[in-house]
Amino acid sequence: MANRVARTSTAAASRKPSVVWARPDDLAATGHTVSPAEVEFFVDNGFLVKPRMLDADVVDAALDRVWRHMTDRVPLQGAAKWSSTRDDRGAWATPRWAKMPPIPQAGPHLGRQRVVHVGATVKLHDLGGARFIVDLVPNSPAVRAVAESLLGDLRPSTRTRGVYALFPAGPDGAAPRGADALGPHTDQVCQQLNVCAYLADVPPRNGGFTLYPGSHKVMFRAHRHAANWSPLPTFRTAMRQVVDGVAPVEIAGDKGDVIFWHGRAVHSAGIHAGARIRWAVFADFTHQRETLTEAEHRALGQFEWFKDTRLFRHDHEAGGDMWRGWRLGRSRPRGC
Ligand SMILES: O=C(O)CCC(=O)C(=O)O
Ligand SMILES: [Fe+2]
């Protein structure tokens, strides 16, 4: 269900390939959780990278648990077995997973399997609510402080989307490498501020999260509401304008880096021509406001159990100030 409507149909040939992004090193300022220059960068581009925000030892311990979980839960094809030598690249390049069970059509996991293993991607949604993952990313005091400084008072975090691994395709994997390797889209349900946190180093062209700078402003106006999924008839044209006109940036980085990104930004998993697994946790932040019930989400086709986001009962119209209610480094949220 996620992204089905939002995925663009723009011909790949007309798209721009991603460029590996070079982080400006002068944005942060001592004494500021988010400096004025960082706020300005975020407002203009729709993302902000905070390098090495997560403790490296805690991340390593988390990744050990994630790896064990994956080898327990992701079935391989036929009689194949996961290698216990995690560092032996040859043992896990060109993964061949067992066939996925069908998408649940009812029940608590409506719309998405608990674990996704397709092509070179594994999405461990079932780890999304594990205490050690929630504590590591959305409940990390440092991550939360930045999210609060940008967005304002936050809804308490109960889960993340999970841990997303992008595997190397391997010699016979024939991974597409150009713009057609990208799947530009926007996310649904209620979108304000999201994070992507790296659990291992992500060198260039190793699947780094890829985002179209400035696209949050275009896509914001292509919705009826400020945060709730509410695409206007102009949505597809707006997507085409972004995907044909903007060179996406691939965010390479280090273990523990956290990327904060605006929920309306067009984005994609990155081009992966490298040798490592791209390990990332994705999480959602929204304002603390009244939300719709689970039954209402199901009725609207916006039930995404694996995301920590809920539609606002009373969302603002997207016609006005797109930063209404955001704190943007100030002591009080804007427009409240
Ligand atoms: O894995 C990635 O880099 C992209 C994930 C994504 O687009 C999403 O969680 O909505
Ligand atoms: Fe997405």
SS3 71: helix
Per-residue pLDDT tens for 62-113?
999 999 999 999 998 888 888 777 766 776 766 788 999 999 999 999 999 9
Please say whether the beta carbons of 70 and 126 come within 8 A: no
Q: Whose CA is nearest to atom 2 of ligand 1?
A: 269
Instruction: Quote the pLDDT of residue 177.
Output: 59
Ion ligand 2 contact residues with beta carbon within 5 A: 187
Ordered domains of the chain (ranges, CATH): 12-75+87-299 (2.60.120.620)
The pLDDT score that the predictor gives to residue 8 is 46
**Which-ligand-closest: CA of 210?**
1
- 282 Cβ closer than 6 Å to some ligand 1 atom: yes
CA distance 10 to 298: 29
Our answer on whether the CB atom of 164 is closer than 6 Å to any ligand 1 atom is: yes
State both tokens at 73. 């839960």
83/6 Cα distance (integer angstroms): 37
Using one digit for the tens of pLDDT, what is the confidence trace for 247-285? 999 999 999 999 999 999 999 999 998 888 999 999 999
Give the ligand at the shortest distance from the Cα of 196.
Answer: 1
Position 13 pLDDT exceeds 80: no
DSSP for 156-171 reads PP---SEEEEE----T
21 Cβ neighbours under 8 A, 6+ residues apart: 249, 250, 251, 252
Residue nearest to atom 5 of ligand 1 (CA): 269
User: What letters, b where the CB count within 10 A reaches 16 and e where it falls short, cover 251-274?
Assistant: bbbebbbbbbbbbbbbbbbbbbeb
Q: Which ligand is nearest to the CA of 282?
A: 1
Q: Is the pLDDT of residue 42 over 60?
A: yes
Strand residue runs (E) in 42-111: 47-50
Residue to substitute in 112, 250, 268, 278 for testing ligand 1 pocket (most ligand atoms within 8 angstroms of CB)? 268
Which residues partner with 65 through β-bridges?
A: none
Residue 7 has pLDDT above 70, yes or no: no
Strand 258-262 relative to strand 278-285: parallel, antiparallel, unpaired?
unpaired
Summarised one tens digit per residue, pLDDT across range 155-176 is 999 999 999 999 987 555 555 5
Ligand 1 pocket mutation, candidates 209, 264, 307, criterion most atoms within 8 A of CB: 209
| CA of 43 relative to ligand 2 center, distance in Å | 19
For residues 284 and 139, give the distance between their C-alpha atoms in angstroms, rounded to a whole number.
11
The pLDDT score that the predictor gives to residue 334 is 74
Mutate to test the pocket of ligand 1, among 182, 191, 196 (most ligand atoms within 8 A of CB): 196
Q: How far is residue 28's CA from residue 7's CA, in Å, rounded to a whole number? A: 34
